[in-house]
Structure 1
Amino acid sequence: MTAKPTGHYLQRTDGLYLQFDRLFHAPIEDVWYSLTNPTAMKSWIGTYTGRPSTGGVRFQMIEEGADWMNVSILECDAPHRFTADSGSGPTAVRVFCHLVEGGGMTTLTLGQRVSGADDAASIGPGWDYYLDRLIAARNRAPHPVWETYYPVFSGFYRDLVIPAPTPANRTVEASAPLD
Structure 2
Amino acid sequence: MRITGAPETVDGQDHLVLTRTFTAPIGDVWAALTSSERLARWFGTWTGDPSTGRVDVTMTFEDDPPVEPYVIEVCEEPTRLRVRTEGDDPEQDWVLDARLSEDAGVTTLRFAQVLTDPAIVTDVGPGWEYYLDRLADSVRSGDVATTTWEGYLELGPGYAAAFGVPDARGGGATARSD
TM bin, normalised by shorter chain, reads: 0.7 to 0.9
What is the Cα deviation at residue 117 of structure 1? 4.2
2: CA distance, partners of 1:143 / 1:66: 22
Q: Note the residue ranges of structure 1 that are not aligned, 5 or more in a row.
A: 166-179
Question: Under a length normalisation based on structure 1, what TM-score does the superposition of the two structures give?
Answer: 0.84
Q: Name the residue aligned to 2:152.
A: 149
Question: What residue is the counterpart of 2:129 in the other structure?
Answer: 128
**Unpaired runs of at least 5, structure 2:** 165-175
Corresponding position of 2:54: 56
Cα 1:6–1:25 shift into 2, 3 Å:
same
Q: Which amino acid aligns with 1:153?
A: L
When structure 1 is superposed on structure 2, of 137-146 and 54-63 the one drifting more is: 137-146
Count of residue pairs brought into register by the alignment: 162
Q: Where has structure 1 moved over 3 Å in runs of 4 or more?
A: 161-165
Say which is worse superposed, 124-133 or 134-143, in terms of deviation: 134-143
Cα distance per residue 1:145-171 (max 9 Å; x no partner): 212101x00001011146799xxxxxx
User: Alpha carbon RMSD of aligned pairs, Å?
Assistant: 1.8
* Cα separation, partners in 2 of 1:126 and 1:26, compared to 1, 3 Å: same
Q: C-alpha distance in 1, partners of 2:125/2:39? A: 20
Percent identity reads 31
Q: TM-score, normalised by structure 2?
A: 0.85
Distance, in Å, in 1 between the alignment partners of 2:163 and 2:139 is: 32
1:139 and 2:140 aligned: yes
Shift of 1:138: 2.1
Query: Shift of the alpha carbon at 1:64?
Result: 3.3
Partner of 2:150: helix, strand, or coil?
helix
Are the equivalent residues in 2 in contact too, given 1:101–1:107 (CA < 8 A)? yes
Contact 2:22 2:139 in 1 (8 A): no
User: For residues 22-171 of structure 1, what are the structure 2 equivalents within 5 Å?
Assistant: 22-62=20-60, 63-88=62-87, 89-140=90-141, 141=143, 142-150=145-153, 152-161=154-163
Measured in 1, the distance between the counterparts of 2:122 and 2:163 equals 12
